[in-house]
Every structure is written in structure tokens, then in C-alpha cells.
Amino acid sequence: MNTSMKSNPPVQHKVIKNLIEAHSWLGLIISPLLFLVFWAGAVTLFHDEVAQWAITPHHPVDNTQVDIPLATLVEQKLAEYPVDYNGRFRINMPTELVPYYIFYLDVIGAQSPSDSHSMAILVDPKSGDTVAGKDDFYLSQFIYHLHYNLDLPGGSYLIGMVALIFLFALVSGIFIHARKLLKHFFLYRVDKQRRDKLLDLHTVVGVMTIPFTLMYALSGLILNLAIVFQLAFVVFIYQGDRQALFNDAGFNRTTELRSETPLDMDNAFNLIEQTQQKPNFELRNIIFHHYGAENALVQVRGTDTASFAQRDEVTYRVQDGSVINKVNADNYNVFRQGRDVLVSLHFSNFAGVDIRILYFILAMAISAMIVAGNMLWLDKRRVQRQSSPRSIAIVTGMTIGGCGGIIVATAVGFLCERLLPATLYGRSEWLVGCFVASLLAVMLCSLKVNDIKRHISKLLLLTSSILIITIVADWLLFPEQILALWQNGYHGVIGVQIGMGLMVAVCIFTAVKLTTTNQTARLENAITVN
């Protein structure tokens, strides 16, 4: 009995040691992508504000004019473009932040009817003009794509795997610090060595953000690897009926062929207006199936403002106004409700801007935690004689260059979004190219760095300079438009400028702090040597 009791501590110590090794190596492997996910996710929290900042100075909406009736607007756009009526098209409604209709259309190619492709356009609700293609101002969408699929084919599965590994890192971190979790909850040793400060920063941020990070890891895992869960549901719950699963999940599509008999669509817009007048209903988008045909359907979708993460959706047959399908709080669906709750929690669209600011701060703190974890690994490897200088250089370049490069590249993206001409052909490709080029440039410059703190300071000051130039360019190019937008209630442009200004202040403060610390350390070393 005594022997077993004596052998337990070494076994426990070995388990913790193995967890630390797994936590360190797995965290190191996924750190660049994980940093990108949280950094891009933090910016994506203000997706619509960034979109307003990018678009409205070029194409301001005059609120003194009356909205064109939706029926008139739809007929006008369908006459302008060679729409493929065999499918469906969707219209996103204007919002307080993005004051344009967004039309998603399938159009027939000029060469042959079979050569059809999708397009999305922004339409001014006051004038009816097509102001731009949806992807002409691509920054907000690009950062959002980086967050969930790296803007690459199959990237969502890669991010899903990163979320899975991140979940393991969280659980292993909890086990590693379990005994000291409460005792050292707020411990940050400012008067100790650099390694102690980094360890405390990594641990304190990790502990304080556990509920937030667990929510993000689980929701991101489920949303990005949904195909895995779909396969399990199809096999075990839906008895192989994949379409039934999609119907419950809200991805059901009509399989009817388009009727050759024409139909006047006035009743469709009457049905939309009736649905829009319902209490606690906020209209989000409309989907038309077989527009102008006898078997036309209109799907009206919105949110129930009186409930949490509740989506209301009703599909009408236009000819007689009969309800084909309906989803609301009374028609409860566990599968769809669960997905909507996850989406609401993940994107914090269930409350006001204060919650999004809190999410933003937490996401930035986790980004700092990721960098601190990598720096701990580097400090540990540098004191080990068997460590390869090449491997240390690669990890340094990956950490400082990758993470720092993402910050610089984001600032470059904002500058390009403001300075690139709105009519430039392939504008979105130019923006993505500038982002990637600046990221690669910083990574290459970070491969051989002797003074890490000095290098980080330079990157932060470079980011600050780019953001300052962006703010100045705003006021030089669009001073009257920005002021007019503010007076008309569109505060997103100046709000984004304030956000950039705060980021400039943080970057400059951090750069000065790092420089001061570095100079103090050098002075102490010189005194010690003498």
C-alpha cells in the first residue's frame, strides 16, 4: 500500500510532463493559423462597420429621398441583367450599417444559355442605381473568409482541424495548471525574469478567457467540420436520408421545374409586406423561386427580435398565398435552433456593440497569449545545447514574421481599400495581392532577427504609420461625404477611424514599452560585464 502511494506522484508528474510537451508542440504547430483565426475574427466582429467605411464614402445614400418600392426595383434589375429564371435569386435588405440592397443573381452568359454564373450587386434603395459589385469592396469579406476558410478551397476543414487541436490545447492547459488555477489566478510577476512574465501573461490570459475560448473552440469546430456531424446524423438519426437532414437544417430547396405559364408577381410583394408587419419580426432577406411563373414561390426570412437566436422563415406559393413551409418559435426544430444559437454566440450578433467590443478585447488578448506561448518555447530551446539554430530561426520567423506580418498586412489591406480606385478592374484581386505580398515580405524580413523586441517595435510602428496614413487619406479624399454620412446617421465610417486610432495608440505604447525595456536590459548587462 505504501509502495503504491509512493509511486503515484512520479506517475502523475510524468503525465503532466507529457501534457506539457503535447501542449507546447501542438500549440506551436497551429499557432500561425490560430493567431490568424482570432485576429481576423476580432476584425470580423465589425464586418458591417468596415463595409460601411469602405463603400459609403464612394456611394453615399441620400436619406432625404424616399425608397423605391421593392417591386419596382426588382423589375428594374431583372430588366437590366440576363437573369436565369430557372433557378432562384435572393435579395438582402438594407440595414442601418450597410444601406444597400444586395441582389444575388444567376445570369446567363453572353456566349450560350448554359454558360451561366452567379453575381452579387449593391443597389441604392433611393435611386435604384447599381452602385458596385458586392466584391468590388472586398476587405470585410476577405477578412471574414480568412477567419473561417483562409479564403482557400477546403480551408474550412483545415480551420476545423485547428479548432480541434485548439480544444485539446485548452483542456491540456487546464490540467497542467489545475493545482495552481485559483492560487495564481491573477499572478503576474513584473519584477522577475522575462520568461516568468511571458509565462504569467500566457497563463493569466488563458485562465481568464476559458469560457470564451471553450465556446469559440467548440462552435468553430462544429461549424467548420459540420460535414463530419452531418455524416453521423445521416447514418444514425436520419436513416441515410440526407435531404431530410438538410430540410431540418434549413437548406431545403424546391425541386419543382419552372412552369411555362406566366404569373403576375404583385401578390408576392403583398405577402412580403404582410409578413414584414408582424410584431417582433425584422426582415433580413427574400428568396424568389421561379419568378414570374405560375408555380413561383417567395421565401421571407428574418429574425424574431423578442427571442434569442430565433430565425423566422415562411415560404409562400405566390399564386394563392398558401404557406408551403414555416419556421418560428412555435414550430421548434432542435437541429436548426442549435445551429442558430452557435452562430449567434460565435459572431456575438445577439446583443449590442458593447458585447462585440468585449469579444474584440478577448480575441486580441488570446492573440497575445499565442505569441507569448511561442516566445516561451523559443526561450526554452535557446538554453538547450542540442537545439538547432536553424529550427529556432524558423520558429522565430514563423512567430514574429507570421503573427506580426498578419498585423501589418491587415493595415495594408485597409490602406488599399481606401486608396485603390473604385472602378479599378480586378480591385479585389489587387487588395488580396497587396495583403499577401506584405505578409510574405514581413515573414522574409523576420527570418534572421537578432533583437526580437526591437524587431517587434519596428513592426508595430510600421502598422501605426500605415493606419495613420489611412485615416489621413479618408479625410483628404472624402471630407464632405464623411461629415454628411455622420449627419445622416451613418456613424460606421468615423467609428472605424476611431478604432484605427485606438489601435495606433496601443501599437505606439507597446513599441515604446518594448524599446524602453530593451534599453534597460542592455544597460544592466553592460553594468554587469563591467
Question: Quick one: pLDDT at residue 5?
Answer: 46
Q: How large is the C-alpha radius of gyration of the chain?
A: 27
Question: Quick one: pLDDT at residue 163?
Answer: 86
One-letter amino acid for residue 424 of the chain? L
Is 358 inside a domain boundary?
A: no
Q: Which of 86, 104, 136 is the last residue of a domain?
A: 136
Is 413 inside a domain boundary?
A: yes
Residue 106 per-residue DSSP state: E
Q: Is the pLDDT of residue 395 over 50?
A: yes
Q: Is 292 helix (H, G, I), strand (E, B) or coil?
A: coil
Give the number of domains in the chain: 2
The parent domain of residue 121 ranges over 70-136
Q: Which of 136, 160, 191 is the last residue of a domain?
A: 136
Q: Is the pLDDT of residue 49 over 90?
A: yes
Query: How far is it, in rounded angstroms, from Cα 139 to Cα 158?
Result: 22
Give 334: exposed, middle or buried? Use CB within 10 Å, 0-12, 13-18, 19+.
Answer: exposed
Question: Quick one: pLDDT at residue 22?
Answer: 76
Is 106 inside a domain boundary?
A: yes
Q: Is the pLDDT of residue 249 over 70?
A: no
Query: How far is it, in rounded angstroms, from Cα 219 to Cα 163?
Result: 9
Is 45 inside a domain boundary?
A: no
Question: Quick one: pLDDT at residue 37?
Answer: 92
Is 116 inside a domain boundary?
A: yes
**CA 80-313-332 angle, 5° bins:** 165
Residues 133-143: tens digit of each pLDDT: 999 999 999 99
Question: Quick one: pLDDT at residue 265?
Answer: 95
Is 63 inside a domain boundary?
A: no
Grid coordinates of 413? 489591406
Query: How far is it, in rounded angstroms, from Cα 399 to Cα 378?
Result: 10
The band of 30, judged by pLDDT with boundaries at 50, 70 and 90, is confident
One-letter amino acid for residue 42 of the chain? A
Question: Quick one: pLDDT at residue 321?
Answer: 94
Q: Is the pLDDT of residue 257 over 90?
A: no
Q: Is the pLDDT of residue 199 over 80?
A: no
Give 115: exposed, middle or buried? Use CB within 10 Å, 0-12, 13-18, 19+.
Answer: exposed
Question: Quick one: pLDDT at residue 181?
Answer: 61
Q: Among residues 337, 296, 49, 295, which one has the least CA distance to residue 286?
A: 296
Is 230 inside a domain boundary?
A: no
Q: Among residues 431, 427, 430, 410, which one has the least CA distance to residue 496?
A: 410
The mean pLDDT value of the chain amounts to 83
Question: Quick one: pLDDT at residue 27?
Answer: 78
Q: Is the pLDDT of residue 6 over 60?
A: no
- Percent of the chain predicted with pLDDT > 70: 80
Is 448 inside a domain boundary?
A: yes
Q: What is the mean pLDDT of the segment spanning 499-514? A: 93
Residues 141-193: tens digit of each pLDDT: 999 999 988 988 888 888 888 888 888 888 887 777 666 665 655 554 555 55
| Range with the poorest average pLDDT among 198-207, 339-348, 507-516 | 198-207
| Range with the poorest average pLDDT among 2-6, 207-211, 308-312 | 2-6
The band of 503, judged by pLDDT with boundaries at 50, 70 and 90, is very high
Residues 414-435: tens digit of each pLDDT: 999 999 999 999 999 999 999 9
Most confident of 154-158, 330-334, 427-431, 518-522: 427-431
Grid coordinates of 54? 469602405
Q: Which of 114, 136, 158 is the last residue of a domain?
A: 136
Grid coordinates of 429? 484581386
